[in-house]
Chain A
Amino acid sequence: MAAPPQPLAQAAVLPEVAAVHWRPRVDERHLRRVGAFWTLTTVAHVVPFTLAAAGLMALQPLALPVALACIAHAWVIPELYAQRGANVLRSHGRAADEPERRSVGLLGDLVGHEARELHARTGLVLEPGGLGVWLIGEAGALLLPLRGRKAYCYCVKVDGRHAEAAALPAGDRTAHLLLALRSDEQGFATVANLSFAGARWRVRRRLRKPQRPAIAAAVGMLDRGSSDPL
């Protein structure tokens, strides 16, 4: 006979965390520290190029083309980082129609009406958590933390070492991430690889147009201070 329900523990740790045991468990403090590091990195890229452009112009106005190239570098490098962040929410191809329909149906059963409707429009699932509001895609997730105006872009997906992983339809790939997130949010963020942390507006600009309303919905949820799932 089957045993009675036996959850791992009250505060169960995602088993996948064992594979990245050297990483510190992600919490609000860790997010702030990582966010500050990314800000410093951006400053370290932007300021020298900007100063170089200004210096060149002060020394020799004929150096305008070089100064403009410096300014372009100062702009492009953070944009490339933001693009890398936005890429975590890219879709990864479709399976046949029927599996896709069934997988989206299951995903829809896991979330509420509003989240289902948002997923239909954007391909992303909006999920409130303790660290902030998440947008979950097929192979990544974006976290808008409770405080600040940053976005944290995480690359995380169904483990490709399992042969079945490659054939999963899109809805199932998202549902895998959603269930893992719901069981251990901090563990989920620990397992995932951080691709980018920076200004929300920068990430939003780099998302595909149909996905952008999902950011607005997440910000709206943060502004309402809602912790209720959609």
Chain B
Amino acid sequence: MSKLIRMDQTGHSTLAEWTVADPAAVEAAVETFRGELDRGYLAMVSTGPGHAEQVRELPIDADLVILRLPISGG
């Protein structure tokens, strides 16, 4: 089961869960994903130990997609 989570004031919220075999769940996850990107979130997937990548489309085969806010110099 793949998950789309957003880091927020609750610690993190699971926004969508899907499997590749469930097109309806994938479609719902994609909609949610795009909505969060429109709100200014950035989507990240881990690509191995110590590496992560930003994605602009939902990678449906990823186990975990994490939404984060942008960073800036303090």
Residues of A that sit less than 8 Å from B by CB: 1-8, 12, 14-16, 19-20, 88, 95, 98-103, 105-106, 110, 112, 127-129, 139-140, 154-162, 164-165, 167-169, 171-172, 175-177, 179-180, 182-183, 188, 191-193, 228-229
**Complex contact A5–B9 (CB within 8 A):** no
Knowing A1-B27, A127-B50 are in contact, say whether A103-B68 is a contact too (CB < 8 A). no
**Complex contact B5–A128 (CB within 8 A):** no
The residue of chain A having its C-beta at the shortest distance from the C-beta of B47 within the complex is A7
What does the 1/0 interface line of B10-50 toward A look like (CB < 8 Å)?
11100000000001001101100000000010101111011
Knowing A101-B11, A110-B46, A169-B11 are in contact, say whether A16-B53 is a contact too (CB < 8 A). no
Knowing A157-B74, A182-B52, A228-B49 are in contact, say whether A165-B12 is a contact too (CB < 8 A). no
How far is A26 from B58 in the complex, measured between Cα atoms in Å? 30
Residues of B that sit less than 8 Å from A by CB: 5, 7-12, 23, 26-27, 29-30, 40, 42, 44-47, 49-62, 66, 68-74
Q: Enumerate 13 A-B pairs (CB-CB under 8 Å) in ascending A order.
A: A12-B53, A15-B42, A15-B70, A16-B71, A88-B74, A99-B11, A105-B11, A127-B50, A140-B74, A154-B73, A157-B74, A168-B69, A179-B44
When distances are taken between beta carbons in the complex, the residues of chain B under 8 Å from A106 are: 5, 7, 11-12, 66
**Complex contact B68–A179 (CB within 8 A):** yes
CB distance from A146 to the nearest CB of B (A): 15
